[in-house]
C-alpha cells in the first residue's frame, strides 16, 4: 500500500503546526490531516513547514523557528527544484544553513513537480553528526 505524502512527511492528526509561505499547489499535494494550525509563530510546534526561494529568507526564518520547535518536533524546508521560480537554493545550501542553526537533516523528498522538501530535527544528545555540507554549532 502506498503511503500518502503527509504520512511520508510524518504529519499526524492533531499536531500543532504552522505552514509558512505555503503555495496552494504544495498544500494540495501534502493534503494534511486535521491539524492545530497556527497563523503566526507563538508557543511550541510539533511540525513547522517553511517554503522559501532564497537563502537569506531561509536563514532569517531558521533563527526564529528554532525557538518555537518542540525538542521532538520537526521542521521541513521546501524550495523550488532545479532553480525554478528564480531560487538560489540548493540542497547543499539548505543543509549548511540548517546545521549552522543547530538542526540536523534526516529526510529529503519531492512534494510535487515544483517543490522539494528536507526534514530537520534537533540533534539527539550524545549522537555525533557528520555532513559534508554543514557543521553543527557548538
81 CA to centre of own chain: 15
Q: Which CATH number fits the domain 5-121, given the four candidates 3.40.50.150, 3.40.50.970, 3.40.50.10860, 1.10.8.640?
A: 3.40.50.150
Tell me the Cα Rg of the chain. 14
Coil, strand or helix: which one is 77?
Answer: strand
Average pLDDT, the chain: 91
Sketch the domain layout of the chain as residue ranges: 5-121
pLDDT tens per residue, range 116-125:
999 999 998 8
Return the pLDDT at 63.
86
- The answer to whether 49 and 32 are in contact (CB under 8 A) is no
Phi and psi (nearest 5°) for 81? -70, 155
CA angle 80, 53, 91 (to 5 degrees): 60
The four Cα atoms 33, 47, 92, 90 give a dihedral, to 10 degrees, of: 50
Specify the pTM.
Answer: 0.92
Amino acid at each position: 500500500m502506498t503511503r500518502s505524502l503527509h504520512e511520508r512527511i510524518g504529519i499526524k492528526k492533531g499536531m500543532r503546526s504552522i505552514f509558512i509561505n505555503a503555495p496552494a499547489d504544495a498544500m494540495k499535494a501534502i493534503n494534511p490531516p486535521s491539524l492545530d494550525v497556527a497563523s503566526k509563530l507563538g508557543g511550541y510546534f510539533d511540525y513547522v513547514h517553511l517554503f522559501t526561494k532564497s537563502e537569506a529568507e531561509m536563514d532569517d526564518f531558521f533563527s526564529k523557528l528554532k525557538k518555537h520547535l518542540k525538542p521532538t518536533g520537526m521542521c521541513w524546508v521546501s524550495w523550488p527544484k532545479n532553480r525554478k521560480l528564480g531560487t538560489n537554493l540548493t540542497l547543499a545550501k539548505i543543509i549548511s544553513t540548517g546545521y549552522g542553526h543547530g538542526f540536523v537533516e534526516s529526510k529529503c523528498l519531492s512534494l510535487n513537480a515544483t517543490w522539494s522538501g528536507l526534514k530537520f530535527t534537533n540533534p539527539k544528545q550524545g549522537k555525533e553528526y557528520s555532513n559534508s555540507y554543514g557543521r553543527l554549532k557548538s
